[in-house]
Amino acid sequence: MSEIKKASMRDAYGKTLAELSVINKDIVVLDADLSKSTRTNLCADKFPDRFFNVGIAEQNMIGIAAGLAAAGKTVFASSFAVFAPGRCFDQMRLSVAQPSLNVKVVATHGGLTVGEDGASHQAIEDLALASVLPGFHVVVPADAVETAQVIRTAANIYGPFYIRLSRIDLPIVYQNDFQFILGKASLLCQGKDVTIIAIGVMIVAALNAAEQLQSENISCRVLNMSTLKPIDEQAIIAAARETGAIVTAEEHQENGGLGSMVARIVTRNKPVPMSFVAVKDSFGESGKPDELLKKYGLTASDIVREVYSVISRK
């Protein structure tokens, strides 16, 4: 698994936005002085009349997005994940979610893998914030191919979206003919002893863990739960029934993230032993992405350890 091609999710976002803007004249793009980093500039350069840089003012950006959407526009608004939803949660709540407006908040630089910039820039709470808002669709693509698909889907489905992308290039998991379906988990590896449910950066860690466990005679199912909301209950219930144990893996706080969402469905439908690979109620710090993932317990070997733990509790 180790030597696969990597690609930028952010580039995929900007390029897809530019492609969509050719046909969809209602797309408007907003950014808050980060367009070179979020890559909305790839679209802005081609469609300057439909791009508004609002400066370093995320609250205002979301309010403007809501006003544009109320007048019929499909609005993509981007910043870093610490700032949107971090800086504009209330605006996402009342100006966008409550009236259910067609605003897509696409945040880059999610998670610890932001790296050297440190705790101030590492969003590990964003998924909890976005998911708690009624009506918001919340999606975490796993690679550049899925990112392009998710952006297309968001442009075509009415309503608020929060989409989290990574700063670092991620290994390509999907072939170009992959078809993302909102609300459907994708099965990356079939297995019968345990299911690893992962998102984003943790997908490749999950696949590596499954490969190692296979050699130790443990058969792992691996699901990419890229849509956190609405979450794929059927896939989760089937995993609990058919494999009898679940480990979740996410680059996010344990509180309110993927693990807690999966646990809610498991306990209600088919309680089985579970374990959670996530950040345990702490902030990040400066370091290389790989060093941080190791220090904060977000690696393939952390998943392997938790798999043994859930299996022992079966």
Partner 1 sequence: MTIGDQIIPFSPVPDTELSAIAKQLRRDIVTMISTAGSGHPGGSLSAVEIITALYFKIMRHCPSEPGWIERDRFILSKGHAAPALYAALAESGYFPVSELATLRKLGSRLQGHADRTATPGVEMSSGSLGQGLSFGVGTALAAGLNNKKYRVYVLIGGGECNEGQVWEAAMSAYHFKLDNMVAFIDHNELQLDGTNHDIMNIEPLGEKWSAFGWHTIEIDGHNFNEILSSLEEAKNIKGQPTAIVAHTIKGKGISYMENKVEFHGKAPNPEETKKALQELA
- Tell me if residue 180 falls in helix, strand or coil: coil
User: Any catalytic annotation for residue 285?
Assistant: no
Nearer to partner 1, 52 or 161 (CB): 52
* Residue 152: exposure state from Cβ atoms within 10 A (0-12, 13-18, ≥19): middle
Q: Residues 14-53 vs partner 1: string with x where CB under 8 A?
A: --------------x--------------------xx-x-
Please state the closest distance from residue 225 (CB atom) to partner 1, in A: 30
Q: CA 101 → CA 54, 149, 157, 259, 275, distances in Å? A: 19, 21, 11, 28, 36
| Contact pick of 37, 46, 63, 212 for partner 1 (by CB under 8 A) | 63
Closest alpha carbon to 252 in 115, 128, 74: 128
Please state the closest distance from residue 77 (CB atom) to partner 1, in A: 10
Cα separation of 87 and 228, whole Å? 21
Cα separation of 206 and 247, whole Å? 10
Binding of residue 4 to partner 1 (CB under 8 A)? no
Cα separation of 3 and 15, whole Å? 25
Q: Which of 9-17, 61-69, 108-116, 140-148 is the region at the interface with partner 1 (rule: CB under 8 A)?
A: 61-69
Residue indicated by tokens 């696949």: 207
DSSP bridge pairs for 6: 171
Binding of residue 166 to partner 1 (CB under 8 A)? no
| Contact pick of 21, 35, 41, 59 for partner 1 (by CB under 8 A) | 59
| Contact pick of 18, 66, 198, 207 for partner 1 (by CB under 8 A) | 66
Q: Residues 83-112 vs partner 1: string with x where CB under 8 A?
A: -------xx-xxx--xxx------------
Helix (H) or strand (E) holding 274: strand 274-279
Please state the closest distance from residue 30 (CB atom) to partner 1, in A: 9
Which residues are the active-site residues? Answer: 58
User: Where does this chain bind partner 1 (CB under 8 A)?
Assistant: 28, 49-50, 52, 54-55, 57, 59-73, 75, 90-91, 93-95, 98-100
